[in-house]
Structure 1
């Protein structure tokens, strides 16, 4: 063997370094969810309880950290889709995935912002779409074949509907962070076939005062 050209196996992180990395990623996920992408690595270090240098040793810049967090989220989306497809009831499997997706988008500002940015990064957007789309298609096809989904509903409709629910979640977040659940139920009732049990509207709509407060908060975010 030519020892000069032999490639050494990748070094495993020490236990303390591995723990720090997981703390950094967990802190970043929390901050991205609460504040979107307008955070700094200093913010992440403070939330994780580590030095800024520790963060920079693991991630050269914020983009690398965003990518790591996003990849984990996509993996979880894929797992949720697989679990929904395995649900014994086709309709409740579809509801399970739709609720998971809506909840994740509504509670995670950073994920929504990354998804919007990905539309300008065609290669990465295609990778994300191709990783999840086949299972979502199978979930929708199974519900249609079982007769629990209204005719004409396509898998692509669900991606649009998730973004619609996320839109009301973004609007109402400062005054009522849970009202998106009402509109998720309305959407599901709109795509179900006749005879499929309707979703109950357990969350009341925004009242006039909340609407005005949300408008004001929305204006402040745009300035």
Structure 2
């Protein structure tokens, strides 16, 4: 059981980390987090021995939200509707937190402890996409990297000088969904970039 002052320091550290990761991504340092939390670096390291431990603590909740989005979409009897929901909600989540894509993508020592969570999510998304393709709604040449590409593009919206980044995210998601939809006028796509090592392992 933590003493009340130790618990307060831990809570302030986590809150500071959430805000800095959301605004600036994972590049922030432990000293940055300590400064924003109003505690000494030693206090931060006492609770979180490495930055990786702090990242995992902060993003466990984010990954839980992400998993709920994906699970609900996969449970939808209409796979195309479920796929659209994933695009819309993950794009919105990404705009709210700049570090989301960094955590979602494989690689980087700071997030490797979440690798199993990411791999499970990508497998679920791949299954959902396959079902949407099977009913003829999602274009046949879609690959999961295309969804990651949209998330990477949405990431910039959080730092853009937009009065309403959430509205911009909705617009981007709608444009992406329209591009993903099967159509008689779909043109051939260039080769898909490999944006996550998870996709290569599936």
Higher relative contact order (CA 8 A, sep 6+): 2
Q: Which runs of structure 1 show a deviation greater than 6 angstroms over 4 or more consecutive aligned residues?
A: none
Report the secondary structure of 1:91's partner residue.
helix
| 1:61 to 1:44, Cα distance in 2 relative to 1, 3 A | farther
Report the secondary structure of 1:109's partner residue.
coil
| 1:23 to 1:89, Cα distance in 2 relative to 1, 3 A | farther
Are 1:136 and 2:128 matched, yes or no? no
TM-score (norm 2): 0.68
Whether the 8 Å contact between 1:144 and 1:151 is mirrored in structure 2 is yes
Q: What's 1:89 paired with?
A: 78
TM-score (norm 1): 0.63
**What RMSD in Å do the two structures reach over aligned CA positions?**
3.2
- Report how many aligned residue pairs link the two structures: 175
Q: What's 2:160 paired with?
A: 173
Query: Deviation at 1:56?
Result: 3.4
Q: What's 2:189 paired with?
A: none
Q: What's 2:190 paired with?
A: none
Hey, what's the Cα distance between the residues in 2 that align with 1:106 and 1:98? 12
| 1:82 to 1:31, Cα distance in 2 relative to 1, 3 A | same
Q: Which has the larger radius of gyration?
A: 1
Hey, what's the Cα distance between the residues in 2 that align with 1:158 and 1:135? 13
Gaps of 5+ in 1: 1-12, 196-223
Q: What's 1:145 paired with?
A: 134
Whether the 8 Å contact between 1:84 and 1:97 is mirrored in structure 2 is yes
Gaps of 5+ in 2: 185-202
